[in-house]
Every structure is written in structure tokens, then in C-alpha cells.
Amino acid sequence: MNELFTIELFWSSVRLSTPLLLAALGGLFSERSGVVNIALEGLMLAGAFTAAAVTWAAGNPWIGLAAAALAGMLVALIHAVACIRYKADQVVTGTAINILMLGIPGFLSGALFLSSGSTPQIAREHLIPWTPIVLAFLAVPITQYVLFHTPFGLRLRAVGENPEAADAAGINVATMRYAGVLLSGILSGVGGAYLSIGQASLFTRNMTSGRGFIALAALIFGKWRPVQTMAACLFFGLTEALTIQMQGVVKLPSGDDIPVQFIQIVPYVLTIVVLAGFIGHSRAPRALGVPYRKEN
């Protein structure tokens, strides 16, 4: 068992938690403003595809990273306009964005690269394996500060908890919610970029494979608070690292591998348990999911 818990496992957990953390912090801004964001998965896919495609075309990962943030923001804008301007159901819109982002990368790579859903390989010197990790963990104290120590953060939380009161106090509810959702797009886009130009060296079809939903789980597990959310992401990253490292190393007494499925489901089971209130209570922002209709 000892050969498993090494410094390598720690770094592996940090690397695997990075995309989760970026997306989860994004989700935090959106949900704190009162807009449910189950579109994190789609936003990450937008970032992952754009980063790989632009980095390959421009030969520069920084342009790719910036493009990924922009792409995430633009896709988030669809979510924002539908939910805030047109009062669409936020869960339904989020689902639509996830489906849209399963389609668009494949569609574009078919047209641009004549491939069935992946981008060309990016040269090793054009990858950025470290920067997104630093960005992700720097984003935690920044989010904490912005959310709890700036007027912007106060307003953001106010429109998520009690939009009527915030409105009465002269805060523009719609503007704050747009800001929250667009920030979620930027952060998730960077999180996706890390997958394609940090960990891997190309975009492949559906390469997030559910990480957006694990990020959402981490956000709930972390009770919509930055530091706790980071802890949850690290823990979920650890479970993923374990599923990779345990294969072929740790065996059951019978000589078989421990089924990876049992470790894979840990984040999901824990989220259900936490939501039910068995381990402390995780309370969502009060106005989460409710479109705000200004009374005349």
C-alpha cells in the first residue's frame, strides 16, 4: 500500500484537480449570482477545443489560452442571455449548451481538419503544463477576496440571495448575473484549455468526459465557498489519481484488480450524501435558479 501514497500521487492529484477547480470556481461565480450552471461541461469543451485549435494554428499557447477563455465566455453568454434576458429554465438551457458543445467541436474539426472530432497534434514546446495549475490555485484566494471583501462580491452574493432587496438597494440584478455567468465561462474555458494544451497535446471528442459535472459536484460539496471547493476538487482529483495508479499495483486478496468503478463513483455518492444533509448541510444561494422579474 505504501508504494501508492507517494509524492507522485500528490502531484498527480494536483494536476487532475486543476481543471475541476477552474470550472468549479467558475460555477461558483455563476451560482452565487443566482444562475444555475450545469453547462460547466459544455463550457470546458468549448475552451478545450478552442485552445487546441488556436494553439495549433497560431503556434502560440498563450493566444490559445486567451482564445479558450474568450470562447468559454461567448458560450456562457448564450446561457446568460437565455436565462437572464429571456427567463429560460436554467437547467434546460444548461443541458442544451452541453449538447451544443458535443456537436460544435466535432462539426468544426470535420470542416477545418477533415477529422472526426479531434484537432491535430500540438508540438511539445507549445504546451503549457504548469501555468493553468498556478492560475487555478491562485484563483482560490482571489475568488475568496473578491467574493467577501469587495463591493462587487457583496453585490454578486446579494443578487443570488435576495434579488428583490438588492434591486431595491440600487444594484442592477441583470448586470451582476451576466458578470457571474460570463466569469464562469472564462474560468471553465481555461479549465478546458488545460485539458487540451496542458495535460494532452490535442483536443479529442468529448475529452472532458464528465469533469464539468464533477466540478459541479465539488462546488456543492464545497458549499459554494472557494476554499472548501478547492478542498473538494483536490479530494476528487485524488480519487481520480488513485483509480489511475491503483491499476495493476494494488490487488485484492484474490489476486484481482480492485474495480476502478468503485473509486470512480466516490465523488458522486458523496455529493448525494452531502446534499441530503448527512455530512453538514450544503445550502445553495437562496435565489438560485429563479429568474428575476422586476416588479413595476
Which residues are near another protein by CB under 8 A?
Answer: 36, 38, 78, 81-82, 86-89, 91-93, 95-100, 102-108, 110-111, 114, 116-117, 210, 213, 216-217, 220, 256, 259, 261-262, 264-265, 268-269, 271-272, 275-277, 284
CB of 143 to another protein, least distance (A): 21
Taking the least distance from each CB to another protein, the nearer of 149 and 251 is 251
Cell of 213: 459535472
Q: Which letter, b or e, does each residue of 46-76 get, where b requires 16 or more Cβ atoms within 10 Å of its Cβ?
A: bbbbbbbbbbbeeeebeebbbbbbbbbbebb
Taking the least distance from each CB to another protein, the nearer of 199 and 206 is 206
CB of 74 to another protein, least distance (A): 14
Taking the least distance from each CB to another protein, the nearer of 170 and 280 is 280
CA distance 247 to 135: 30
Taking the least distance from each CB to another protein, the nearer of 132 and 222 is 222
CB of 20 to another protein, least distance (A): 14
Long-range CB contact pairs, 265-271, < 8 A, 24+? 266/236, 266/239, 267/214, 267/217, 267/218, 267/221, 267/235, 267/236, 267/239, 268/217, 270/217, 270/221, 271/217, 271/220, 271/221
CB of 284 to another protein, least distance (A): 7
| Residue written as grid cell 478542498 | 231
* Residue 211, amino acid: R
CB of 125 to another protein, least distance (A): 30
CB of 152 to another protein, least distance (A): 27
Taking the least distance from each CB to another protein, the nearer of 133 and 218 is 218
* CB-CB contact of 208 with 41 (8 Å): yes
* CB-CB contact of 119 with 193 (8 Å): no
Taking the least distance from each CB to another protein, the nearer of 89 and 167 is 89
Measure the N-to-C terminal CA separation of the chain; round to a whole number of Å: 65
* Residue 293, amino acid: R
